[in-house]
């Protein structure tokens, strides 16, 4: 697609493909050690209760059981990304159905399950807080009586059941209502949903005689898990090695510690390696699903459709522990602004404790929920004013040089192109082609998450290249994209590169596979490493070719000079003899994005770095008898900056839309009285391949200033717009 490059921008096969298509790739769920025990977690049966008795003696005496652990076996610490509120095991009070209370390890899974059944727990019920309304009501019972004593990120605005209130204020919305000809007020709700990764959370832990524990895990963030696990084990990170063999999907659900700590505690107590892997039921009652929300949105417009003001409040039901809620509530306010020019804004995101499982992050956290409200309301406004929805958006979208909601200056804004191309492709403005059939549009923007990445790159004596990164491949092909950047810079082929990844002891630090950042950040670290390697290669080659280093260039696996050339292999061998090998360390940290600090409060994410812009368009029918929705066409136009590997970006778009359609049309974790009613994959209805329509991708390229070749984050955005696009088409 893009020219001027040989490897970057080409749809080359991914590096990890052979293992995955032949089945030889080892995922964490496949990983096993000799003598390994099987661990299971005993969980609370009550949403909120005092745990008055816990007796594990009968469980411990079951044949084959080698260890039982409870709160007494873990350090008295609370952990959490934003608020340190979560204990390893409940001891005095349980706060959701599914909260870990104890764990067992046995020689077989059957013996471990028998031990779980033999654990005796007695509860004295406390008044539960079952939903957002109950949590926010005056005089509501507190999910955490002791919330004030928890350690938390200092910027958070906490109060009782609210574990953060993030806010953006711009201008004066009161003035905006006066300037408006019409004011629209709507309320929207969205459901709790699961990320739906195919591989459950899994970990195998083994201790050695020096007191070091190694955990093979399918986490997205090995360095985060290392730090958390060190806290939980009351040790130092240098005693905790996390290795990620392979990850069968994460989508944000595997960011934080999942089962690693249970495996480590059981392995320590039993003296044997222990594997813990979740069931589907555990995934649906006690993982880190996406928060359900309630959204109140009030927007003022002039009669010709110009936005004058917006007030928005989004409430996240984040469950019994803060989880990702405080950060997600912050990001939500950025999405509530929309990619629109609105002079007056008052936007708030609340993360609220309830007695449900604690919620986490899910692919573009807060994006689908906030965007559903914003883009649904844009269509409501368009209908009321008699303006075409495409035209209403065109009158209000941001352009190059405009301000984002917190004052950041927007650049590389490909939004109008995305919107026009998606609308053209779906056959706009003919949006009601037949009875029961309609088309919908939705647009949005998203960030490319920062954080640092380091790589070591080595040129081997045969001229091949090893890329050593602390990032992990979670299925997106992002590390293939990074390797393409490296191959381009070194003048080698993608096939020459081998990737070693995700080991907290042997790979450099990486902020992790999250926030659409991996190809972007690791790719840039690769560029830095390649620059350093080039310097070293040219130094050797200049002597070898008897010329000046500044006459040289890297091309086709050689250093080429005016009078001759030398292979990278030869230079790597020379370096092994005399210089300890041809190796370089490359690092990258995304530069900060300037914004107006006076506009934000309680805000964990006040600017969208290297933002991406996107438009979705759908053409669907609704069966008037059954309500069943059939999607005829689905089009995504996404400004990716530069398409490092078009095929895998299309893969991200197709996967993200499939997940978005699932959230929109069939998925919901249903709670009643604090219990999940549908904790199985028959009643929790994820789309199958038969339910997903063909998805058409249009890759728009407005190169950003920071990413490799202008690339922007691409993984999360496709999940944002499907709810709104589908809702608008149905409406």
To ligand MOS, the closest distance from the beta carbon of 333 in angstroms equals: 17
To ligand MOS, the closest distance from the beta carbon of 318 in angstroms equals: 14
Of residues 252, 273, 475, 718, which one binds ligand MOS by CB under 6 A? Answer: 252
CA distances from 552 to 442, 487, 541, 546 (A): 50, 18, 8, 11
Distance (Å, whole) CA 608 – CA 603? 12
The piece of 108-116, 131-139, 248-256, 377-385 that touches ligand MOS (CB under 6 A) is 248-256
CB-wise, 27 or 251, nearer to ligand MOS?
Answer: 251
CB-wise, 196 or 305, nearer to ligand MOS?
Answer: 196
Under 8 Å between Cβ of 634 and 655: no
To ligand MOS, the closest distance from the beta carbon of 73 in angstroms equals: 31
Of residues 250, 326, 651, 662, which one binds ligand MOS by CB under 6 A? Answer: 250
The piece of 54-62, 249-257, 433-441, 465-473 that touches ligand MOS (CB under 6 A) is 249-257
Distance (Å, whole) CA 704 – CA 590? 12
Nearest to 430 by CA among 619, 266, 250: 619
Omega of the bond prior to 420 within 30 degrees of 0, cis?
no
- The helix/strand/coil state of 527 is helix
Under 8 Å between Cβ of 469 and 453: yes
Residue 717, classified by CB atoms within 10 Å of its CB into exposed (0-12), middle (13-18) or buried (19+), is buried
To ligand MOS, the closest distance from the beta carbon of 369 in angstroms equals: 13
HSE value, Cβ hemisphere, 13 Å, CA-based, for 700: 22
Q: Where are the alpha helices (DSSP H) in 23-78?
A: 57-60
Q: Is 201 in the site for ligand MOS (CB under 6 A)?
A: no
Residue showing tokens 């990032």:
471
Tell me how many degrees the CA angle 584-589-591 measures, rounded to the nearest 5.
Answer: 140
CB-wise, 367 or 703, nearer to ligand MOS?
Answer: 367
CB-wise, 96 or 362, nearer to ligand MOS?
Answer: 362
CB-wise, 82 or 255, nearer to ligand MOS?
Answer: 255
Q: Is 612 in the site for ligand MOS (CB under 6 A)?
A: no
CB-wise, 363 or 712, nearer to ligand MOS?
Answer: 363
Given the DSSP bridges, would you call strands 600-601 and 582-589 parallel, antiparallel or unpaired? unpaired
CA distances from 576 to 301, 467, 540, 568 (A): 69, 18, 12, 12
- The helix/strand/coil state of 720 is coil
CB-wise, 250 or 641, nearer to ligand MOS?
Answer: 250
The piece of 247-255, 412-420, 543-551, 662-670 that touches ligand MOS (CB under 6 A) is 247-255
- The helix/strand/coil state of 466 is strand
The piece of 65-73, 356-364, 411-419, 701-709 that touches ligand MOS (CB under 6 A) is 356-364
CB-wise, 460 or 516, nearer to ligand MOS?
Answer: 516
Under 8 Å between Cβ of 625 and 467: no
Which residues, other chains included, contact 49 with Cβ-Cβ below 8 Å and sequence gap of 6+? Answer: 93, 94, 123, 124, 125, 126
Identify the H or E element spanning 128.
none
CB-wise, 365 or 662, nearer to ligand MOS?
Answer: 365
To ligand MOS, the closest distance from the beta carbon of 711 in angstroms equals: 17
Q: Is 515 in the site for ligand MOS (CB under 6 A)?
A: yes
To ligand MOS, the closest distance from the beta carbon of 346 in angstroms equals: 27
CB-wise, 363 or 565, nearer to ligand MOS?
Answer: 363
Nearest to 329 by CA among 356, 297, 361: 361
Under 8 Å between Cβ of 405 and 593: no
To ligand MOS, the closest distance from the beta carbon of 375 in angstroms equals: 20
Tell me how many degrees the CA angle 595-597-602 measures, rounded to the nearest 5.
Answer: 120
Of residues 7, 28, 213, 255, which one binds ligand MOS by CB under 6 A? Answer: 255
Radius of gyration (C-alpha) of the chain in whole angstroms: 27
Strands (E) in 365-496, as ranges, are 437-446, 452-459, 465-469
To ligand MOS, the closest distance from the beta carbon of 334 in angstroms equals: 14
Q: Is 361 in the site for ligand MOS (CB under 6 A)?
A: yes
Q: Is 605 in the site for ligand MOS (CB under 6 A)?
A: no
CA distances from 530 to 150, 419, 691 (A): 45, 37, 44
Q: Is 656 in the site for ligand MOS (CB under 6 A)?
A: no
Instruction: Say how many residues touch ligand MOS, by CB under 6 A.
Output: 11
Distance (Å, whole) CA 227 – CA 234? 10
Of residues 363, 421, 565, 614, which one binds ligand MOS by CB under 6 A? Answer: 363
Of residues 44, 99, 220, 518, which one binds ligand MOS by CB under 6 A? Answer: 220
CB-wise, 40 or 517, nearer to ligand MOS?
Answer: 517
For residues 668, 672, 675, 677, the Cα torsion angle rounded to the nearest 10 degrees is: -50
Of residues 79, 188, 362, 684, which one binds ligand MOS by CB under 6 A? Answer: 362
CB-wise, 86 or 224, nearer to ligand MOS?
Answer: 224
Q: How many residues does the chain have?
A: 731
To ligand MOS, the closest distance from the beta carbon of 154 in angstroms equals: 22
To ligand MOS, the closest distance from the beta carbon of 482 in angstroms equals: 17
The piece of 170-178, 355-363, 391-399, 657-665 that touches ligand MOS (CB under 6 A) is 355-363
CA distances from 133 to 129, 294, 352, 354 (A): 9, 9, 10, 10
To ligand MOS, the closest distance from the beta carbon of 668 in angstroms equals: 19
The piece of 358-366, 646-654, 665-673, 723-731 that touches ligand MOS (CB under 6 A) is 358-366
**Greatest extent of the chain over all pairs of C-alpha atoms, in Å:** 86
CB-wise, 252 or 708, nearer to ligand MOS?
Answer: 252
CB-wise, 249 or 491, nearer to ligand MOS?
Answer: 249
Output the residue with the shortest Cβ distance to ligand MOS.
252
CB-wise, 220 or 354, nearer to ligand MOS?
Answer: 220
The single-letter DSSP state of residue 306 is -
To ligand MOS, the closest distance from the beta carbon of 363 in angstroms equals: 5
Q: Which of residues 477-506 bind ligand MOS (CB under 6 A)?
A: none
Under 8 Å between Cβ of 552 and 560: yes
To ligand MOS, the closest distance from the beta carbon of 515 in angstroms equals: 4
Q: Give the contact letters, 399-438, x = binds to ligand MOS (CB under 6 A), - = no.
A: ----------------------------------------
To ligand MOS, the closest distance from the beta carbon of 389 in angstroms equals: 29
**Beta-carbon count within 10 A of 711 CB:** 29
Under 8 Å between Cβ of 268 and 72: no
Residue 365, classified by CB atoms within 10 Å of its CB into exposed (0-12), middle (13-18) or buried (19+), is buried
Residue showing tokens 């807080």:
129
* 3-state percent helix, strand, coil for the chain, nearest multiple of 5: 30, 30, 40
CB-wise, 512 or 710, nearer to ligand MOS?
Answer: 512
To ligand MOS, the closest distance from the beta carbon of 56 in angstroms equals: 35
The gap from C-alpha 164 to its chain's centroid, in whole angstroms, comes to 20
Q: Give the contact letters, 98-127, x = binds to ligand MOS (CB under 6 A), - = no.
A: ------------------------------
CB-wise, 464 or 610, nearer to ligand MOS?
Answer: 610
Q: Is 514 in the site for ligand MOS (CB under 6 A)?
A: yes
Distance (Å, whole) CA 218 – CA 204? 10
Residues that bind ligand MOS (CB under 6 A): 220, 250-252, 255, 361-363, 365, 514-515
């Amino acid at each position: 697609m893009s020219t001027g490059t040989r490897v970057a921008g080409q749809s080359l096969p991914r590096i990890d493909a052979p293992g995955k298509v032949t089945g030889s790739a080892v995922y964490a769920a496949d990983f096993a050690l000799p003598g390994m025990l099987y661990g299971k977690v005993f969980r609370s049966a009550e949403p909120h209760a005092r745990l008055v008795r816990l007796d594990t003696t009968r469980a411990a005496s079951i044949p084959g059981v080698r260890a039982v652990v409870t709160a007494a076996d873990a350090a008295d610490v609370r952990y959490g990304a934003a608020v340190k509120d979560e204990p390893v095991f409940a001891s005095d009070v349980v706060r959701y159905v599914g909260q870990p209370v104890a764990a067992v390890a046995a020689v077989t899974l059957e013996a471990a399950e028998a031990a779980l059944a033999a654990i005796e727990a007695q509860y004295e019920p406390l008044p539960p807080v079952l939903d957002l309304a109950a949590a926010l009501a005056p005089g509501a019972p507190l999910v955490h009586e002791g919330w004030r004593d928890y350690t938390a990120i200092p910027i958070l605005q906490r109060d009782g059941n609210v574990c953060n209130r993030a806010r953006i204020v711009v201008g004066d919305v009161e003035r905006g209502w006066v300037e408006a000809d019409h004011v629209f007020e709507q309320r929207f709700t969205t459901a709790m949903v699961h990320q739906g990764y195919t591989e459950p959370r899994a970990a195998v832990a083994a201790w050695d005689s020096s007191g070091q524990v190694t955990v093979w895990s399918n986490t997205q963030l090995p360095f985060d898990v290392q730090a958390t696990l060190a806290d939980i084990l009351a040790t130092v990170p240098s005693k905790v090695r996390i290795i990620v063999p392979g990850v069968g999907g994460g989508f944000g659900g595997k960011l934080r510690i999942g089962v690693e700590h249970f495996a480590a505690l059981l392995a320590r107590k039993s003296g044997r390696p222990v594997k813990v892997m979740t069931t589907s039921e555990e995934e649906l009652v006690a993982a880190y699903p996406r928060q359900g929300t309630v959204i109140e949105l009030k927007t003022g417009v002039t009669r010709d459709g110009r936005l004058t003001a917006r007030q928005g409040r989004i409430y996240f039901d984040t469950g019994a522990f803060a989880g990702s809620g405080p950060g997600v509530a912050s990001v939500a306010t950025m999405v509530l602004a929309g990619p629109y020019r609105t002079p007056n804004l008052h936007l708030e995101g609340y993360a609220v404790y309830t007695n449900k499982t604690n919620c986490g992050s899910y692919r573009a956290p807060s994006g689908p929920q906030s965007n559903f409200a914003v883009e649904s309301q844009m269509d409501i406004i368009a209908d009321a004013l008699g303006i075409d929805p495409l035209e209403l958006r065109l009158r209000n979208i941001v352009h190059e040089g405009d301000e984002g909601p917190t004052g950041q200056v927007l650049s590389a804004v490909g939004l109008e192109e995305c919107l026009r191309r998606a609308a053209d492709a779906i056959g706009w403005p003919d949006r009601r082609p037949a009875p029961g059939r309609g088309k919908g549009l939705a647009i949005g923007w998203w960030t490319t998450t920062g954080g640092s990445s380091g790589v070591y790159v080595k040129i081997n004596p045969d001229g091949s290249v090893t890329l050593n990164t602390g990032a992990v491949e979670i299925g997106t092909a992002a590390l293939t994209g990074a390797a393409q950047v490296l191959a381009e810079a070194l003048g080698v082929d993608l096939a020459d590169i081998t990737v070693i990844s995700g080991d907290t002891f042997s790979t450099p630090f990486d902020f992790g596979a999250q926030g659409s950042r991996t190809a972007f950040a690791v790719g840039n670290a690769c560029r830095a490493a390649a620059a350093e390697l080039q310097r070293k290669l040219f130094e050797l080659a200049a002597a070898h070719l008897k010329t000046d280093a500044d006459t040289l260039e890297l091309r086709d696996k050689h250093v080429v000079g005016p009078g001759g050339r030398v292979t990278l292999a030869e230079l790597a061998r020379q370096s092994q003899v005399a210089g300890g090998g041809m190796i370089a360390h490359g690092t990258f940290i995304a530069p900060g994005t300037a914004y107006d600090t006076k506009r934000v409060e309680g805000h964990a994410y006040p600017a969208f770095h290297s933002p991406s812009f996107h438009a979705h368009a759908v053409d669907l029918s609704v069966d008037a008898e059954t309500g069943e929705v059939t999607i005829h066409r689905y089009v995504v136009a996404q400004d990716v900056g530069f398409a490092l590997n078009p095929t895998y970006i299309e893969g991200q778009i197709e996967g993200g839309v499939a997940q978005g359609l699932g959230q929109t049309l069939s998925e919901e974790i249903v709670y009643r009285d604090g219990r999940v009613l549908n904790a199985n994959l028959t009643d929790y209805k994820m789309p199958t391949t038969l339910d997903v329509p063909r998805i058409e991708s249009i890759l728009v390229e407005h190169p950003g200033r920071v990413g490799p070749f202008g690339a922007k984050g691409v993984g999360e955005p496709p999940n944002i717009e499907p709810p709104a696009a589908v809702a608008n088409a149905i409406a």
